[in-house]
A and B are shown apart, each in its own frame.
Chain A
Amino acid sequence: MRKSLCALPLLLSMGLVGCSNGEEDGVTLDVWAIGWEAEQLVNEGYIQQFEQQHPNVKVNLQAIPWGNIYDNLLTAVASGSGPDVVQIGTSYMADFASTGSFLSLDEYVEDYPNLNPDHFFDGAVDSSIYNGELVAVPWYVETRVLFYRTDLLADVGFPEGPDTWEELYEASKALYDRGDGLYAMTLPENDDTLPYIFAWQNGVEFETADKGVDFSDPAFVEAVTYYTRFFKEDLAPLGLGLDPMQSFVDGIQPMFFEPPFRYQQLIDNYPEFEEWDTKLMPSKENNTSVIGGSNMAIFEWTEHPDEAVAFLSYLSDRQTQIDYFKDVRVLPPRVDAWEDPALQEDERLYTYYEQLQQSRAQPQVLNWNRINDEWKRSEQRITRADYTIEEEINDFRSRIEPMIVTDNGEEEN
């Protein structure tokens, strides 16, 4: 308790401290970026290159671990002072954009065409626009595709992998019947994306026009029934603590839905292992997947908006994005970057490009983080505690009702 009691006033008092970086001869841009990828911006010379192009600007980049970024953003927003440029996970966008802390980029698009939303995948743009205002630019993207073992799937009659929901279920049954201790796939429990993906594929629309969410569609129940069936029938084991990649390579769980970092992990850790491929998500009404990743935004209190925008423009430049992919292996959100041969040479990676065109952002809804946690709670009750799906979804809806805050943007100033 000591922690929580003290932290609140601490947050408040942060406002008194404030930090300014006024320099006589040049401009210093403070940048918060996240994780290992951020360090590569320095290590691979991107920051240096930007500074060469803009001799009067010095970039002071701070790499913040993923686990801390939310708290850091919170303190920045609470105190109204922080860095000039910030990298922000797409799932946090709505909450922070609603505080009005991000600089609107609309007026800069003309002078800096790199910021133009037309360059990026539609799904990636969704999270960078709030109440019709452009408040961020996509920095890198990720999405889920189906990984499958070509050899094992061929054994059960799906050499090209399952294409539809029915085929996925049939293939799973057949894989499960191979024997004891063998399963069909890794489905992450407590996942806050896959159930939504299945719901989208079943035609469900959660988002309402006024930035609320609505889970009342009977197709949602159907999607959840389909999804949880894999747990209930033990096709995807629960609570065994199996390592997804190891059990994929061992053939214990020959399918999973994974973001691009897993592609890189497989290539790096098992260079000899070739019996696998990637594939678009199996479809029902569509084969939508979720788009995630990070955006770059500028805090509205920055004293150097022009330099900050120039930095964003540099980062979202086509060539920067291609180079960054080559060095760091994260996927560029710019559609035209994918025309580069470097991104096309591996077909298994190119699947991500096709899937990115069929991907959408998580609902840009206030309190989404919390609604997600409530969903995870419900999911556990369905898969582990035998609550019936209809009842649990009703209960879920009644629990999240008070959290749905609609915001039609009228109060923006």
Chain B
Amino acid sequence: MELVRKKPAREGKRQSAPYIFIAPAVLLLLLFAVLPIIIALTISFTDMDLRGISNWSAISFVGIENYRVLLSDPIFWTSMYNTFFYVIIGVPLVIISSLGAALLLNYSSNKLFRLFRVIYYMPAITNIVAIAVIWGFLYNVSYGLFNQVLLFFNTGPVPWLEDPTIAKLSLIILAVWKGIGINMLIYLAALQSIPKDYYEAATIDGASRTQQFFKITFPLLGFATFFITVTTLIGWLQFFEEPFVMTEGGPLDGTISIALFIYQAGFSYSNFGYAAAASFVLFVIIIIATLIQFTLRRKQGDM
């Protein structure tokens, strides 16, 4: 948008040209991003259900009733709690692990290291259902590999997916494993764009490796970290696939996330108005979380 604003100020004739260039993108955005949001907002004020969807005259406006019910729905609050649990543990874990992996893989670029880049990236492109089947076996209490290994060390079986809190952590482990790859690539790219001279100069000045990391590497990765934090946070606020295929939100609603709650309300119970209301609450949460990060980022930049 800034590009657009700067250029046309001089010549009146050319003013329309940039708009024509961005028009297709804006139109697509309006059609596939803005319009659905507006429709969802509208639906969230109705009692649309399976019968309403086939016969629009059966839909009636109920005002903020859906939101009122939502706020008094204990399952919704459980899903909020779980989602924040996922975010608070998952997001830092993904950032730290992917940064760690990137730093290690940055040591060298010989064949072995390149192979490991592929290996770390593999989970990110593997189908979630395939992953769920494999991890389901790994987590199985009686036959699973994890418990067999624990048995070897004479520690009792862990109910990986059978206890509400442990199940949350199990899903986080799975999602972190899946999420490292793509963020690691971003970090690797950022790492490789740091000029080597800085490190040479620092070494001549007698800076230790730790000092070099905190004074050179980490600050220069600032933008990459910011980008990864924003995208990871949004991703984890929408945490859906893992609980959907592994636990269906159970046991005792221990793993249900807001996104899964929305899915169930909308597509299992055909309660579209209610689902739209919940999805709008999630939308607002994501907007707020993202705005906070942009504000923090700007403050950092001012310093």
Find B36's partner among A6, A70, A99, A377 (CB 8 Å cutoff). Answer: A6
A346 to chain B, nearest CB (A): 31
Chain B residues with CB under 8 A of A373: 264, 268-269
Complex contact A12–B39 (CB within 8 A) = yes
Q: How many residues of B contact A (CB 8 A)?
A: 44
Complex contact B286–A241 (CB within 8 A) = no
* A19 sits at the interface (CB 8 A): no
B59 to chain A, nearest CB (A): 11
Complex contact B252–A370 (CB within 8 A) = no
- Chain B 17-49, CB-CB to A under 8 Å as 1, else 0, gives 000000000000000100111011001000000
Interface footprint category on A: 35 or more
Complex contact A369–B35 (CB within 8 A) = no
* B152 sits at the interface (CB 8 A): no
Kindly identify, within residues 130 to 146 of chain B, every residue whose CB is under 8 Å from any CB belonging to chain A: 140-144
Complex contact B141–A239 (CB within 8 A) = yes
* A21 sits at the interface (CB 8 A): no
**Provided the pairs A5-B40, A77-B53, A377-B253 are in contact, do residues A239 and B159 lie with their beta carbons within 8 angstroms?**
yes
Find B50's partner among A8, A77, A80, A380 (CB 8 Å cutoff). Answer: A77
**Provided the pairs A4-B259, A5-B279, A6-B36 are in contact, do residues A99 and B50 lie with their beta carbons within 8 angstroms?**
yes
Complex contact A370–B269 (CB within 8 A) = yes
- Chain B 269-303, CB-CB to A under 8 Å as 1, else 0, gives 11110011001001100100000000000000000
- Complex Cα spacing A243 to B264, Å: 27
**Provided the pairs A12-B39, A77-B53, A385-B252 are in contact, do residues A4 and B266 lie with their beta carbons within 8 angstroms?**
yes
Chain B residues with CB under 8 A of A370: 268-269, 271
Chain B residues with CB under 8 A of A6: 32, 36
Kindly identify, within residues 233 to 286 of chain B, every residue whose CB is under 8 Å from any CB belonging to chain A: 237-238, 240, 250-253, 258-259, 262-264, 266-272, 275-276, 279, 282-283, 286
Chain A residues with CB under 8 A of B238: 1-2
- Chain A 214-252, CB-CB to B under 8 Å as 1, else 0, gives 000000000000000000000000111111000000000
Complex contact A380–B250 (CB within 8 A) = yes
Complex contact A241–B50 (CB within 8 A) = no
Most buried by A among B144, B267, B270: B270
Find A8's partner among B144, B162, B266 (CB 8 Å cutoff). Answer: B266
- Complex Cα spacing A370 to B50, Å: 13
* A267 sits at the interface (CB 8 A): no
* B54 sits at the interface (CB 8 A): yes
**Provided the pairs A8-B36, A11-B53, A373-B268 are in contact, do residues A3 and B240 lie with their beta carbons within 8 angstroms?**
yes
* A339 sits at the interface (CB 8 A): no
* A78 sits at the interface (CB 8 A): yes
Find B250's partner among A11, A74, A100, A190 (CB 8 Å cutoff). Answer: A190
Complex contact B240–A99 (CB within 8 A) = no
Find B270's partner among A74, A242, A380, A381 (CB 8 Å cutoff). Answer: A74
Kindly identify, within residues 229 to 283 of chain A, every residue whose CB is under 8 Å from any CB belonging to chain B: 238-243
A107 to chain B, nearest CB (A): 23
Complex contact A369–B50 (CB within 8 A) = no
A-B contacts, 23 of them at CB < 8 A, read: A1-B237, A1-B258, A1-B283, A2-B238, A3-B263, A5-B36, A7-B267, A8-B40, A8-B272, A8-B275, A8-B276, A12-B53, A71-B267, A74-B50, A74-B270, A80-B54, A98-B51, A99-B51, A190-B250, A239-B159, A241-B144, A373-B269, A377-B253
**Residues on A close to B: CB < 8 A?**
1-9, 11-12, 70-71, 74, 77-78, 80, 95-96, 98-101, 190, 238-243, 367, 369-370, 373, 376-377, 380-381, 384-385
User: Apart from A8-B276, A9-B40, what are 15 other A-B pairs with CB-CB below 8 Å?
Assistant: A1-B238, A1-B258, A3-B259, A3-B263, A4-B262, A4-B275, A7-B267, A11-B53, A70-B268, A77-B54, A99-B51, A100-B54, A241-B142, A370-B269, A385-B252
